[in-house]
Amino acid sequence: MLFNSSDAPSQIWQNVLHELHRGALDPKHPFRFLTLATSGVQFPQVRTVVLRQLSPAMEFLVYTDVRTAKVQDLLETPRVSLLFYHPKKQVQIRVKALATLHVANALAQEQWKRVSEKRQSEYKSGLAPGTRIETPDLGWEADPENAHFSVLKFSPLSIEVLQLAREGHLRMQFELAAGWQGTWLVP
C-alpha cells in the first residue's frame, strides 16, 4: 500500500511524489511506464511512454519523435492525461496536465545528451513513425544525419490517487488550484 486511511493528506502527497520520482529513476519501477492520453481527431488516443524525469518543479518529461501523432494531437489540444498503475501497491495515479513541446531548445539539447548513442538511433528513422510501408524492413531505415528528437513536458493541474485496500478503497484528489491540498473522494 502507498497510503492508508489514517495518513494525513500532506503525508499521502509526499508518498505520491516520492513514488513518481522513483518511477523516473528506476527502470524496473512500474511508474517508469505511463499511459499518455491525448485528444485525437476522432478518438481519444492512448499509448505507453517512458517517464524520463519528474523535475523539481513537478513536470513530467517524456521523449518522443517530433513527427509522431501524439505531438500533432497535443499541439492541437495541449490538455492531456497521464495514467500510472503500481500492481504490487495496488495504486492508480491519474494526472491531468498541460503539455508543451520542446525541440532543439535548451531543454531538448540537455536531455539529448542523456540519450545513449544506441538509443539516439530511435529518433533517426528515415520515414516518419506511423507511415504505411510495404515491408517491415522499410521501417528500420535510418537517416543518421537527422534526429527528430523532442521532449514533452507535462505540467500537472490535478493528480488523483486511488488506493485499493481490503478494508475499503481510498481515493484522494490534489489540485494545483487548491495549492495541492488533498481532498478525499468517494472511491
* Residue ranges that bind ligand FMN, judged by CB under 6 A: 33, 45, 47-50, 62-64, 68-70, 129-130
Question: Residue 80 Cβ, how far from ligand FMN at the closest point, in Å?
Answer: 12
Spatial separation of the C-alpha atoms in residues 187 and 185, rounded to whole Å: 6
**Closer residue to ligand FMN, CB minimum distance, 42 or 48:** 48
**First and final CA of the chain: distance in angstroms?**
16
Question: Residue 36 Cβ, how far from ligand FMN at the closest point, in Å?
Answer: 8
Question: Residue 150 Cβ, how far from ligand FMN at the closest point, in Å?
Answer: 9
**Closer residue to ligand FMN, CB minimum distance, 68 or 121:** 68
**Closer residue to ligand FMN, CB minimum distance, 19 or 65:** 65
φ, ψ dihedrals at 20, nearest 5°: -65, -40
DSSP string, 74-106: HHH--EEEEEEEETTTTEEEEEEEEEEEE-SSH
CA 20 to chain centre: 10
Spatial separation of the C-alpha atoms in residues 38 and 163, rounded to whole Å: 25
Question: Residue 14 Cβ, how far from ligand FMN at the closest point, in Å?
Answer: 27
**Closer residue to ligand FMN, CB minimum distance, 3 or 63:** 63
